[in-house]
Amino acid sequence: MPREGRNTMMTDKVIENNKVSMIGEVISDFEFSHEVFGEGFYMVDVSVNRLSSQADIIPLMVSERLVDITKDFRGMIVEVSGQFRSYNRHEGTRNRLVLSIFVREWEILENDSEMSKTNQIFLEGFICKPPIYRKTPLGREIADLLVAVNRPYGKSDYIPCIAWGRNARYASGFEVGGKIRIWGRVQSREYMKKLGENEGEKRVAYEVSVSKLEYGVE
């Protein structure tokens, strides 16, 4: 079984264009997701503090070869690093973009003194949909971006990102296919999905809140 301390997946080379690190509290059991060539992958949720009093609930995908999934980690503080990944899940006649952190390193921390410091992501990819620029009722500027980040073997992850203020105004002029670098944090956001005339369902979206971006980089 894996050690409880620092566990690392060395199966793939480190991917430089999609890097996430965060510290949070484990708040769920492990739930089986899928198996690849006999290796089981499991989902587990962590609560990651913001600088405000709020917290983001972030889903992690971990290998049974990295972490002892038979153990109850709830209430423990974990530091993880990996990639923000996506896949399309078929729901009826539609596809739904499902996002999670694919964990490559997992370390249990003895205390939570570092919890407020870590939720960082770096992405380098390409704009794959025209940005959506808007203002909130309170006048705050927002731009929604969808960034394609290449993975080995011809795959890509499609990561929703949200820019604010002057970054939103700047991003509103980005063109599809333009290369972009993004620094920010992974966040969760609840919203109501309209299912019918008088019917809705509460869902959670995962996205990157952008703190810095560069466009047209080589």
User: Lowest mean pLDDT: which of 14-18, 112-116, 141-145, 190-194?
Assistant: 112-116
The predicted-structure confidence for 175-200, as pLDDT tens digits, reads as follows 999 999 999 999 998 887 777 777 88
Residue 5 pLDDT greater than 60, yes or no: no
Which residues constitute the domain of residue 133?
Answer: 121-215
Instruction: Tell me the whole-structure pTM to 2 decimals.
Output: 0.87
Quick one: 47 and 136 in the same domain? no
User: Where do runs of H (alpha helix) occur along the chain?
Assistant: 165-171
Structure tokens at 98: 């499902």
CATH number at residue 189: 2.40.50.140
The predicted-structure confidence for 94-111, as pLDDT tens digits, reads as follows 777 889 999 999 999 987
How many domains does the structure of the chain reveal? Answer: 2
The predicted-structure confidence for 32-76, as pLDDT tens digits, reads as follows 999 999 999 999 999 999 877 789 999 999 999 999 999 999 999
For the residues 116-128, what does the mean pLDDT come to?
90
In a domain, 51, yes or no: yes
Quick one: 59 and 141 in the same domain? no
The CB-side HSE value for 2 (13 A sphere, CA atoms) comes to 20
1 band by pLDDT with thresholds 50, 70 and 90: very low
What's the confidence (pLDDT) of residue 216? 87
73 vs 190: CA distance, rounded Å: 25
